[in-house]
């Protein structure tokens, strides 16, 4: 019976799952907003729309249109992923820089201005520039 009904229909896909999940998320969110009438109603309506759209897509017979939507969604998702990676790596870089700053002191060679780093907390060091070979003492 159900199988016959679903014959030739698009059925669930990843976008359908995401829509249903988002609808559920919004309706859970609305529980916390029950004191704010406008926000509550907006969340209810939004969750019904999301669910309605998910169900509509599932029972749709227009494969081409649904496939286009899925492709569009996947493009959007990969963009979102790339953005997230950027944010994550950016944060990691800041953490790395801070860790390095704790362990090393940055110096410039007095002759050629080459950037050098020496370990911190070692007292007075005789530093040899890696570029021009000039030797100088520095506090670490
Ligand atoms: Zn130098």
What confidence tier does 36 reach under pLDDT thresholds 50, 70, 90? confident
The full DSSP string for 33-67 is: TTTSHHHHHHHHHHHHHHHHHHHHHHH---HHHHH
Hey, CA dihedral for 93, 99, 105, 109, is it positive or negative? negative
pLDDT, one tens digit per residue, over 74-130 is 999 999 999 999 998 888 888 888 998 899 999 999 999 999 999 999 999 999 999
Distance in Å, CA 127 to ligand 1 centroid: 10
Q: What is the domain partition of the chain in residue ranges?
A: 2-102, 105-139
| 108 Cα to the center of ligand 1, angstroms | 8
**pLDDT band of 4, cuts 50, 70, 90:** confident
Confidence check: pLDDT of 3 > 80 = no
Structure-block tokens of residue 56: 């509509």
Element (H, E) at 3: helix 2-6
CB atoms within 10 A of CB 10: 20
**96 alpha carbon – ligand 1 mean position (Å):** 26
What is the per-residue pLDDT for 128? 95
pLDDT of the residue at 6: 79
* C-alpha 120 to ligand 1 mean position (Å): 20
| Crossing angle of helices 14-32 and 37-59, rounded to 10° | 160
- What pLDDT, on the 0 to 100 scale, is given for residue 66? 93
CA of 97 to the centre of ligand 1 (A): 23
CA of 116 to the centre of ligand 1 (A): 9
128 Cα–ligand 1 center, Å? 8
Residue 29: φ, ψ to 5°: -60, -35
Confidence of residue 67 (pLDDT cuts 50, 70, 90): very high
Report the share of the chain in percent with pLDDT over 70. 99
* pTM listed for this prediction: 0.59
- Ligand 1 centroid from CA 115, angstroms: 8
More confident residue, 125 or 4: 125
How many Å lie between the centroid of ligand 1 and the Cα of residue 94? 28
Integer-rounded Cα Rg, in Å, for the chain is 30
């Amino acid at each position: 019976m159900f199988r016959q009904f679903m014959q030739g229909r698009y059925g669930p896909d990843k976008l359908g799952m995401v829509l249903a999940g988002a609808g559920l998320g919004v309706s859970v969110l609305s529980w916390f907003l029950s004191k704010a009438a406008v926000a509550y109603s907006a969340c209810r309506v939004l969750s019904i729309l999301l669910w309605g759209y998910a169900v509509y897509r599932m029972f749709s017979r227009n494969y081409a249109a649904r496939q286009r939507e899925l492709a569009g969604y996947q493009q959007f998702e990969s963009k979102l992923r790339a953005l997230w990676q950027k944010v994550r790596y950016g944060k990691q870089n800041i953490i790395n820089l801070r860790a390095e700053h704790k362990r090393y002191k940055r110096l410039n060679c007095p002759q050629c201005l080459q950037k050098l780093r020496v370990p911190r907390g070692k007292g007075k060091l005789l530093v040899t520039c890696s570029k021009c070979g000039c030797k100088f003492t520095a506090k670490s």
